[in-house]
Amino acid sequence: MNHVKKKNSDQVELDETDLAILRLLQEDASISNAELSERLALSLTPCWRRRKRLEEAGVIKGYQANLDRRSLGLDIMAFVSIRFSTHADHAPDAFEAVIAQMPEVLACHKITGDADYLLQVLAEDLDSYSDFIETVLRRQVGIASIQSSLALREVKNSSRIAIPKCRKD
């Protein structure tokens, strides 16, 4: 049997059929179980069980529509580097808790290098982005610097993950 071998305790063992399900759902998350089972040449119940197992194991974290931000009036995309003056106190933890609640923040990553965090932020315009900086970021304790880079053009924007190939045992 071909499968993706586990490399860590969080990784789930997946076979070729599981990977095919993931590929098809990444292409179209609205696909019905009937169509999914047909495209995989599986009967409906085993297909549903596999999909349910992938959901319960956390491989599939949820389903969402991919929206066009510009159609919603969100014309500014900023990448914001945050550097803390110290890590000895709980300031970074408090920062993470605040950022996790901010709908303007699409992503927040704790990173290596000169900065401590990298945020991806959406705003309607420069004024609303400036408001976010002033009312949210500048009010966080312990931040030493905030550096913004504005996206001029999106070259690629995808949340699709490259699905690994199965390996033969």
Where in the chain are the domains? 13-64, 69-150
pLDDT by residue (tens digit) across 95-138? 999 999 999 999 999 999 999 999 999 999 999 999 999 999 99
Cα gap 131→124, rounded to integer Å:
11
Q: Dihedral of CA 61/21/19/9: which sign? A: positive
Cβ-Cβ contacts under 8 Å for 43 (sequence gap 6 or more): 37
Domain 69-150: CATH architecture, name and number where available: 2-Layer Sandwich (3.30)
Per-residue pLDDT tens over the stretch 23-66: 999 999 999 999 999 999 999 999 999 999 999 999 999 998 88
Tell me the per-residue pLDDT of 10-34, one tens digit each, with 9 for 90 and over: 788 899 999 999 999 999 999 999 9
Residue 169: per-residue pLDDT: 55
Q: CATH assignment of 13-64?
A: 1.10.10.10
Token representation of residue 110: 């704790």
Give the list of residues 6+ apart from residue 133 with CB closer than 8 angstroms, or none: 146, 148
Read off the pTM.
Answer: 0.82
CA separation, residue 70 to residues 1, 89, 153 (Å): 46, 39, 12
- pLDDT at position 1 over 50: no
